[in-house]
Structure 1
Amino acid sequence: MTCFPLLSFLIAVVLVATVSSSDERNIVRIINSGSTNTNGYAIELHREGIVKWSVTHRGHQISSTTPSTPSSTTTQMSIRLPSALVISVFQALQQASPLNQYPPIFCIKSVSFGTTLHVIYNGQQSPDLDCPLEDSRLISLNKAVREVISFLHINTLG
């Protein structure tokens, strides 16, 4: 009789691990750090097309480790993206993966307006897409990501 609770627990752990692993492959996070003079933002794109994003007001820079919970310094929104746009991002990600294969990219930026732009997918982070890119896979990923950003009309100067 005592093996049933243990068996139930193990099944629950396996299911949670499977769902968590599956979720990581179905969510793309796009993080713009913001700067002294521009708002940062975090975008969460789900494979089924739902996109959620939050804008963090100036002076509250965000990074890939910033939690996505809303606060008094953020504005959150959510919509469904056109299928073609979602497919474009996930295809570019598939071609560019794994994202940790690329060395970090550094470039000179304005102190007041310089930002970083990273994509996080499947537990891996891209190099800074705001720097000049040479790898065609990163260029394609950058293009797809910027189409999403453009579609969302995110205001970074407000």
Structure 2
Amino acid sequence: MNCPRDAAALELKTVGHANVQTCPQCSGMFLEHGQLNAITDPTPGDLEFSTVDQDSYQHDDEFGPISCPRDATTMRKVDFNIESNIILDYCPTCHGFWLDANELARINDEVKRLNDAGAEVPDPLLVRISNFFWNLPVPH
């Protein structure tokens, strides 16, 4: 496989818990279906599913359209998270992602921010259980 940005031959490299195709020149990487979840910081839920928006809106970034290194399909621009301003290239055929240099670090920063924000929100079930025990009569 070749890099869709500079045509350099991609090299297999271990990133997180997966072996991914990376570009030695631009530091971009091609992620097969399922690898985005494997290489990002742990989070509940499926990052790939939540990233791939089903609308037809074209999310533009500073890069032009590219072809998937796996199957040459024109990749779609998708928001990683609508509030993060991280735009990824997604292949609708093989469901792979192309990440440009530093996008993985930006994704991990965003995942950490979301995890921290989620930790501040009390779990409704735990609140109800806590209230139940708090309101039990104390034996004398």
TM (normalized to structure 1)?
0.25
Query: Larger C-alpha radius of gyration, 1 or 2?
Result: 2
Higher helix proportion (structure 1 or 2): 1
Higher strand proportion (structure 1 or 2): 1
* Bigger RCO (CA 8 Å, 6+ sep): 1
